[in-house]
Each structure stands twice: as structure tokens, then as C-alpha cells.
Chains A and B, each alone.
Chain A
Amino acid sequence: MIEVVQIEKAYRKFQAVRGISFEVRPGEVYGLLGPNGAGKTTTLRMLATLLKPTAGSARVAGFDVARQSLEARRNLGIVNGGMKVYDKLTGYEVLDFFGSFYDLWGAKLKERIGWAAELLHIEQAVLNKQVKDMSTGMQQKIVIARAILHQPQVLLLDEATAGLDVFARRALLDFVKQYASLGKTLVYSTHVMSEAEEVCNRVGFIHQGSLVYEGPLQEALELGSGNLERAFIRRLKEAA
């Protein structure tokens, strides 16, 4: 469902992503792990068609991200830690706004909002509140609901737990597992190894724009004697 082949992104003299390749199949949660500034956000933004790759190619749900960006966008959702939704709108208005771009209207929209609200444990009363009056965790749930309203085949999560309290974080991790169980394809980017250990099936270690390791979670754990963080540090040292 996601195919990335030798993708690169350069900003003038700075090479943010250097020839990364990986694949993610339906039902899989792929952990893109790396420290801040490693190139995770840039990679996910390229997959979400927000940035154009300077070399290589990527296909999301069968669509080329550079040449078929609109089709790709119809089949993906993206959430990142810094992403917010319109604070003067109510939760329902936000979902109505984004839903209309995916031809979700009237009864169909209501049904989808109900589905997303149930999946993310959002109460109906909360949807009638303006976003600015919601807790941070609830705001993040609205951000996620917006991203999954059209039930995308591919969901990209970039540091999605940043700034969340323990309850909201737990709810998000549970949601990731549940969404993958629906046969969806997820990329979960984080620098928190314990989260990746819990939700990912396969992982890729990214460092200074290069993918220095890629494999099943179990194999990565073995590399670090049962500890993903140790495996990550070891692989990074070897790559250096």
C-alpha cells in the first residue's frame, strides 16, 4: 500500500532525506524511528504530497505522490504533533468542513462522524463545543477524527503523541492498533521507542536523512537484546 523507492529531499545545499526505500503493507504499522531532525517529518510530508521529492518516487494507495497528488490525498490521512484545527469552529463544524472535501454530506457525514467519534471515544456533547474550549487531548482527537473521517487506506502519524497527557496518549496508542486491525496501512513516526515497541509490526531507523536499518519489530528487538532503544543506538553507531 506504501512503496517508497530511493526518495530524496534537498533544500539548496542541505540534504534532508537521502535515498530512503521501504514498503508498508495493509494491516501493518510501520515505525519510522529517529531523533529530532533525522528526516522523519520530511519523509512523511513527502508521502502526504505536502513536499515534492527531489529524487526517487513514492506511491501511496497505488498513486504516485508527485504526479497524482490529489488521488493520493483522497486515500491518505495525516496527523502530526503540531497539527491543529480551527479553534473558533465547533468539533462538528471542523469535521463537516473536512468531510465535504471527500464528498461526505448529510446522513453519510453524520454516520462517519459517529463512527470516528466512537473509535476515538469522543462524546457527542464535545462535538458541539468550540475547539478552543476543549482539552489538548480532545483537540488532538478532533485532529485525528479529521484525518480518518474518509476512512483512508493509509494513515500517517508523525509524533502524534507530542504534548498529550497519559490518558490521551493511551487512547491514541489503542486507536492505532484498532485502526490497523481494520486492514489499514499506518506509518508511525516517533522518537519514543516504547511507543514503537507497543504498536509497530516493522520498524525503520532513520538518521541524518538515511535509513540505517529496516526490518520486523521482533528482529530489531533481538538486535538490541530485547530492547528497541539499545538496538537503535547500536545501529546508529555502526552506521557512523
Chain B
Amino acid sequence: MNEILIIARKELLSVVRERRVLLTTLLLPMLMMPLAMFGPLLLLGNAARQTQENVQQVGVVGVPAPVLAHLRKAKVEPVAVANPQEAVQKREVAAALVYAEGQYTLYGRLSRGTTQSALVVEKVQGALQAYKEELVAERLRARGLGTELLEPFRLETKDASPQEEQAAGVFAFLIPYFLVMFIQLGGMSVAVDATAGEKEKGTLEALLAAPVPLTQVLLGKGLAVFVMSLLAAMAAITGLLLGSSVFRNLFAVQLQALQREDRPVQLGGALALEPLGYLAVALTSVLFALLIIAILISLGLYARSYKEAQSYMSPLSLVMIIPLLFLQFSDFLKLQDWYFALPLINVLLALDAIVRGSATATQLGLTWLSTLAFGGLALYLAYRNFQREDVVFRN
């Protein structure tokens, strides 16, 4: 046990002396989490507000005068264009409106989601809707009828999702991904340094010649990687908790401006769990860290150099992106319990369920047991790798 601590201490001491590693392992997750959760939203919110407040040019063809007046009222400047589609494509105008034979056709650059053109299209749609409502009201009045005729009943939609899910916000599905990513990234630099780095620098042989059993060398290195992984995860959670609170208070007005009036939701992403929920997140993260460090150390030992180790480890981050894509649509999927026995994927699913407050005991039990089993297997493989002379002296 003593040797394990001595080796872990040495690895951590080397890390502490490397400012670059400390920055990427501890500071980056702390800053990244709130920025990733709220940064794009605030940028988008700011851009949307500016688009609303400023006047944009919209190409028009055959549009009647009353509609032009509505467009101007909606802060849009109509300009005559010969070819509306081409004018939009060449960005001469943000959108274009054509009227012919009782039909309006609206052109905008819509294939990239939320663009300035899309926001201007919404402004034009709003102006047309206002004009339409004005016409309908006029016609109803001409027939001696009121507009209440069009609204036979009122509809109110209320969010019935669990409290945790409501508080987590619309970007909550990103939290598990960032958490596992930082656990992996936090451990990666130490894992590379403690394995392939030692080989490349020529320090491993001296350590292996010391009277320390191989298991203790492996566990000592693993412990150092584990500590850094968990510190990175804690930094990420701290960043998320502090950052979301700061952002939601500091930019309350801007975030409010982004809300849909008919269905208000918590924007960004944050954690708001019961103590047991935090405990579940911690346990899932610890077990995942065990699994990932065993994989990282195994790969690092096999590699000849830093570069080779990094090239083996980097694809792991890409592997994590695949389940993330599914997480976005997890509500449409019928989650089977056995999904929670699949390595790596189960951790993302379980963290997502905890964050949303929908995790069941079976799902969490399966995740923890299978992650522990896979972690044990990975650790055993790392030990076997460490025993192989052709791997240790492969440099």
C-alpha cells in the first residue's frame, strides 16, 4: 500500500510542476462547462435581439402597399429585386417576399438552422401574420362578428416534467457528455506521462528495477490518474454549479428574452439534484473513472511514445460522441434496461437519467455493476500488458 502511495505521489508531483496540465485538467473544465451551457445561448440571444432591434433589407416582388407598411413597422426595409432567390443566395438581402396570384412566397437561407436570415424570415412572417389578423378582423367586423368567434376555448400548456429535469434546462443532455469527457481528458495527460512518457524518457526501467511488485507500480500510477480524473470531474461540476447560478442571475434579462411565451423552459444546462442524486452522479463518475483509467493505462503502456499514446487515446473521445447523438433523442427511444449494461454507453445514459431525475434503481444498479465488472477486466488486461516484456520494452 505504501509503495502505491509513493508512486502516486511522485506522478502527481510531476503533474503539479506542469502548469499546462493543471490548466487543461482543472481550469478548463471549470470554465468550459458554464460557457458551453450558456455561451452559445447568450450569443444567439444577443444576435436575435440585435436582429429584432435593427432594420434589415428584404427583397420584394409584387407585394401590396399595406403589407409593405407592415414590414416597415416590423423593422424591415423592403427593396425591389429582380430575382428574389438569387438575391438571398448572394446575401444582397436577408430574405425576399414575392406576391403573385393570391399567394405569398418567402425566401430565406434556412438550411443552417438559426441564421440571421432565418430570424428575418420570422420577422416577415410576423408582419404577414399581423396583416392577416388585421384583414380577418376587418372582414368579421363587416359581417357584424367579433374576433372572439375564432377562439371558442383557451388552451394552456404546462410543463409536467420532474423538478430536476425542469431545473436542468434544455442543454441537460450535454452534461453527461462533458462529465465523461473531462474525466477522460483529466486522466489522459497523467496516464500518457506515467506510461508511454516514462518509456520515451527512459525512466521506466529504473522504476521496474526497484523492489516493488508490478501490481503496486500499476496501482500507484492508476491512483494518480484516478485522482486527476476525479479532480477534472469535480472542477467540471463546480464550474457547472457556480457558472449556471452566475449566468442565470447575471444574464437573467437576456435569457428571459429567449423564452417562448407559450412554453417557458429553463435555458442552458445546470444541475439541481437531491443529495442522493449528487451521490449517484459521484458514484457513476468514480466507476467510470476506474474503467477509463484502466483503458488509458493499457493503451499508454502499449504505446512507444507520447505521440503514439495520444493517437491511441484520442479516438476514445470520438467514441463518446456517438451515444451523445442518441441522448438528444433519448425521449423518443424506449430505453431497455439492458442498454445500461453496455460499457461507456451505460454511463452516459445513467448520468442523463440522474440529471433528468428519471433514473430507476435497476438502471443504476446495472450501470454500476457492469462498469465495475468492465473496469476490473480492463485493469486485469492492463496488468497483463504490464507483465509483457515485449510491451514494456517496446521502444
With A51-B389, A80-B205 known as contacts, the answer to whether A86 contacts B14 (CB < 8 A) is yes
Q: Which of B6, B18, B202, B205 has the most CB of A within 10 A?
A: B205
Q: Are B17 and A84 in contact (CB under 8 A)?
A: no
Contacting residues, chain A, for B147 (C-beta < 8 A): none
Contacting residues, chain A, for B213 (C-beta < 8 A): 70
- Is there a chain B Cβ closer than 8 Å to A49's Cβ? yes
Q: Are B202 and A83 in contact (CB under 8 A)?
A: yes
Return the contact of A52 from the options B6, B211, B389 (Cβ within 8 A). Answer: B389
Contacting residues, chain A, for B13 (C-beta < 8 A): 88-89, 93
Return the contact of B212 from the options A77, A89, A101 (Cβ within 8 A). Answer: A101
Interface SS majority for chain A: mixed
With A11-B390, A89-B14, A93-B13 known as contacts, the answer to whether A146 contacts B206 (CB < 8 A) is yes
- Is there a chain A Cβ closer than 8 Å to B129's Cβ? no
Return the contact of A89 from the options B10, B210, B389, B390 (Cβ within 8 A). Answer: B10
| Inter-chain contact total with CB atoms closer than 8 Å | 68
Question: Chain A, 10-43, contact with B by CB distance < 8 Å: what is the 0/1 string?
Answer: 0100000000000000000000000000000000
Q: Are A97 and B14 in contact (CB under 8 A)?
A: no
Contacting residues, chain A, for B211 (C-beta < 8 A): 70-71, 73-74, 101-102
Q: How far is the CB of A8 from chain B (nearest CB, A)?
A: 14
- Is there a chain B Cβ closer than 8 Å to A221's Cβ? no
- Is there a chain B Cβ closer than 8 Å to A85's Cβ? yes
- Is there a chain B Cβ closer than 8 Å to A222's Cβ? no
- Is there a chain B Cβ closer than 8 Å to A6's Cβ? no
- Is there a chain B Cβ closer than 8 Å to A174's Cβ? no
Interface SS majority for chain B: helix
Contacting residues, chain B, for A73 (C-beta < 8 A): 209-211
A101, B213: Cα distance in complex, Å: 11
A231, B13: Cα distance in complex, Å: 50
- Is there a chain B Cβ closer than 8 Å to A227's Cβ? no
| Residue count of chain B within 8 Å CB distance of chain A | 22
Minimal Cβ-Cβ distance residue in A for B208: A50
Q: Are B209 and A86 in contact (CB under 8 A)?
A: no
Q: How far is the CB of B7 from chain A (nearest CB, A)?
A: 8
Q: Are B209 and A97 in contact (CB under 8 A)?
A: no
- Is there a chain A Cβ closer than 8 Å to B133's Cβ? no
Q: Are A101 and B3 in contact (CB under 8 A)?
A: yes
Contacting residues, chain A, for B206 (C-beta < 8 A): 78, 83-85, 98, 143, 146-147
- Is there a chain B Cβ closer than 8 Å to A124's Cβ? no
- Is there a chain B Cβ closer than 8 Å to A48's Cβ? yes
A88, B2: Cα distance in complex, Å: 22
Q: Are A100 and B202 in contact (CB under 8 A)?
A: no
Contacting residues, chain A, for B18 (C-beta < 8 A): 88
Minimal Cβ-Cβ distance residue in A for B3: A101
Return the contact of A97 from the options B10, B202, B205, B208 (Cβ within 8 A). Answer: B10
A1, B132: Cα distance in complex, Å: 103
Question: Chain A, 45-68, contact with B by CB distance < 8 Å: what is the 0/1 string?
Answer: 100111110000000000000000
A interface residues with partner B (beta carbon < 8 Å): 11, 45, 48-52, 70-71, 73-74, 76-78, 80, 82-89, 93, 97-98, 100-102, 130, 143, 146-147
B interface residues with partner A (beta carbon < 8 Å): 2-3, 6, 10, 13-14, 17-18, 201-203, 205-206, 208-213, 389-390, 393
A sample of 13 inter-chain contacts (CB < 8 A) reads A45-B393, A49-B209, A50-B208, A50-B389, A51-B389, A52-B389, A76-B209, A82-B205, A86-B10, A86-B14, A88-B13, A100-B6, A146-B206
Complex A-B, nearest 6 residue pairs according to Cβ-Cβ distance, in ascending order: A84-B202, A73-B211, A88-B17, A101-B210, A74-B211, A88-B14
